[in-house]
Chains A and B, each alone.
Chain A
């Protein structure tokens, strides 16, 4: 691969080119840090793909649905998803949001919580992180700081995505340094239900994304979660009339 040319390289540009050539030859095709699991198109504005090895926290009034929606993208793409500590997960909702139930595994009761977080939970999550692309954990679990750090390190090493779902009021994450990406539902409004008629059709939510490092710049998006057709869709701005209405002319 141009070794003769490289041997004659003298100028700085040539050397740089040679270095780039070598770097291109020895690097893995995709850097581990750049590997992202795809998300649903509607969530692209919030998280452009879940970076492998990162931690996520999902919070707010529609946290469970939002967490399922985040897992739906990778799941559709063939990823395996595990949920730990959700004895009451609505699986039908998961399927409607796009999670493939063929590749969903639940550990409803990850062992007794003995108060200081020393149960089987860390070992269970660690085992799942080894193999599953997306692992959802419930925030209600007490986690010792050392266990939390170990899990985060393991997630990074294995290239999984660890999602903490829950009502962390006041903010209490299982990860000592906080999550890499934090999604918070700040506002949720249901539509379709009247006073004695109709049924729940769609929910309009406002989600804020923040986090650390690359994700530190906060983003905001309005979504239909779920939309009237099921699934997740971005809220499109209301169409602006091209011409003023007749009544306005008068």
Chain B
């Protein structure tokens, strides 16, 4: 016994949970989307070639009858409460990793129910009772949650091929052996996997065979966690001491909260307070016990776990999910009074070793929210209506940045094309800064006249025939020009008869203080932009 063995864990997994929660049968092609990307799909959709992370367009192209659902995290969590409740008959200590998957240590229950296999079969039966008939459930048992989750995957494949009950038990101490043939993608760490693949490592077994010290030296704590997982251990060595009690935060609710919203509001404040206390200690919380109590003494207590540290927002979300499931359960399980007490107790606290989701912490959520709003506007106006800027080379302000439909780029990823460094080539003939704030999509036709009222043109040596004195709009109105500069010629694409363009540009300031960029091309003057 080195004390580093992971706890024997059972994972109960309902595949494609967002669709099960939405009440879609597995035989109907359907997929749940977040920001136009598939996050889950039914077996029927998968058979048609729909995969996770696929764009909506592509998914619909593969399966034209595809039913499109927006993923609703609250609905998922609410519906999963029934599953968790059913499993509570087997064990008091359930950890919900995310709606659709929960885990619990098997030591006690397995002894009581007569072994891991018997317990697993019992879990399948318990869960099957509360789910619609025909819903797939998979149960895996192994050392540690990571191996158990993959055992559950094996179990799911087994169940689908009808080779037996959807149960897979990995013998104690055999976790590493079970994981060895799996591809590195199973780690769900794309950047790391990418590098490892280029080093010639393909499977978890390859990774596990490397010396731990070398992995730590080269890939840091993230690499070490992956290495530990591949060796069938927990991502981090188990915490030897319980978190200190001063990390527990709680609040009394007065008046009692009958609805989710007021309790969730208080929870948000509590989560923020907890985050501050954790920050002060340089720790993060990866497992938390959320408990709520009503006036009549009914309690709801759940353990939530997330491998990538729980942020304040994530904790607040989990409180909301838990309370939503509890307060909106069927009449038998619903509490009879309002919530008066809320308590957040970190159950496993580890040192914050830099595994943060985004530089700004909670702002990873901001990008995701923005993506969702973009998807909604695309739903209202069409996919081409939402545009994002990208740098492109050019000499006129309108050419230096072009707009591309948001549907064509991945907004959640890093976008170097939206940074000025993207354009490396010098574009001689660019206008000096500052740039105009308004570019007229349809150039406004004008006349530029000299002091005597004659039109100003430019001679062969690119000199204006007279000083511009008056700017007259073709649609009416005129302004005296108080100062001007130019002409700045552009002779572009002379090799291409269709796109050849030769023009001169002037900056003018009129007597009302406005500044315009006026262009003379083919003898016609237009206002191309206004320095608004």
Contact = CB atoms under 8 A, between A and B. Distances in A.
B124 interface: no
A92 B400 contact: yes
B299 interface: no
B79 to A, nearest CB: 24
B357 interface: no
B434 A130 contact: no
Given A188-B513, A200-B507, A80 B366 contact: yes
A105 B401 contact: no
Contacts of A106: 386-389, 403
A220 B515 CA distance: 23
Interface in A54-82: 61-65, 68, 78-80, 82
Contact of B467 (A90, A96, A105, A195): A195
A212 to B, nearest CB: 26
B167 to A, nearest CB: 42
Contact of A68 (B391, B437, B509, B529): B437
B420 interface: yes
A19 interface: no
Nearest to A63: B532
* Chain B: number of interface residues, binned into ranges: 35 or more
Interface in B393-441: 397, 400-401, 403, 406, 411, 415, 418-420, 431-441
A130 B376 CA distance: 11
Contacts of B467: 195-196
B438 A90 contact: yes
A87 B268 contact: no
A80 B406 CA distance: 14
A80 B389 CA distance: 13
A42 interface: no
A197 B487 CA distance: 9
Contacts of B276: 29
B266 A190 contact: no
A4 B508 CA distance: 76
Interface in A228-249: 230
Interface string A191-202: 001111111111
A90 B380 contact: no
A157 B279 CA distance: 28
A78 B360 contact: yes
Contacts of B484: 193, 195-196
Contacts of B352: none
A200 B363 contact: no
B321 to A, nearest CB: 19
Contact of B509 (A101, A124, A193): A193
B131 interface: no
Interface string A84-108: 0001111111111000111111111
A65 B441 contact: no
Contacts of B411: 105
Interface of B is mostly: mixed
Interface stretch (A20-28, A45-53, A139-147, A170-178): A20-28
B27 interface: no
A94 B439 CA distance: 12
Contacts of B400: 92
B381 A111 contact: yes
A95 B102 CA distance: 47
A199 B532 CA distance: 16
A36 to B, nearest CB: 16
Contacts of A131: 366, 369-370, 372-373
A193 B380 CA distance: 45
B431 to A, nearest CB: 8
Nearest to B512: A61
B437 A200 contact: no
B401 A64 contact: no
A152 interface: no
Nearest to A225: B434
B432 A128 contact: no
B513 A93 contact: no
B389 A104 contact: yes
Contact of A124 (B372, B377, B406, B515): B377
Contacts of A132: 370, 373
Contacts of A101: 388-391, 401, 418-419
A105 B437 contact: no
B477 to A, nearest CB: 15
B203 to A, nearest CB: 36
B531 interface: yes
A222 interface: no
Contacts of A200: 432, 434, 485, 507, 509, 515, 531
A62 to B, nearest CB: 6
A211 interface: no
A89 B385 contact: no
B269 A27 contact: yes
Given A80-B367, A106-B386, A195-B483, A127 B418 contact: no
Contacts of A202: 434
B374 interface: yes
Interface in B338-397: 360, 363, 366-367, 369-370, 372-374, 376-377, 380-381, 385-391, 397
A35 interface: no
Nearest to A130: B373
Query: Could you say which of A61, A62, A105, A110 has the most chain B C-beta atoms within 10 Å of its C-beta?
Result: A105
Nearest to A81: B370
B411 to A, nearest CB: 8
A153 interface: no
A236 to B, nearest CB: 19
A216 interface: no
B439 A90 contact: yes
Contacts of B373: 82, 127-128, 130-132
15 contacts: A26-B252, A26-B269, A28-B269, A78-B363, A88-B441, A91-B389, A95-B401, A96-B433, A102-B419, A127-B377, A128-B377, A132-B370, A133-B366, A193-B509, A200-B507
- Top 3 A-B pairs, shortest CB-CB distance: A131-B373, A92-B435, A131-B369
Given A80-B367, A123-B380, A124-B377, 11 more contacts: A26-B251, A61-B512, A62-B437, A90-B529, A92-B435, A106-B389, A110-B385, A128-B377, A130-B373, A190-B513, A200-B531
Interface of B: 251-252, 265-266, 268-269, 272-273, 276, 360, 363, 366-367, 369-370, 372-374, 376-377, 380-381, 385-391, 397, 400-401, 403, 406, 411, 415, 418-420, 431-441, 467, 483-486, 507-509, 512-515, 529, 531-532
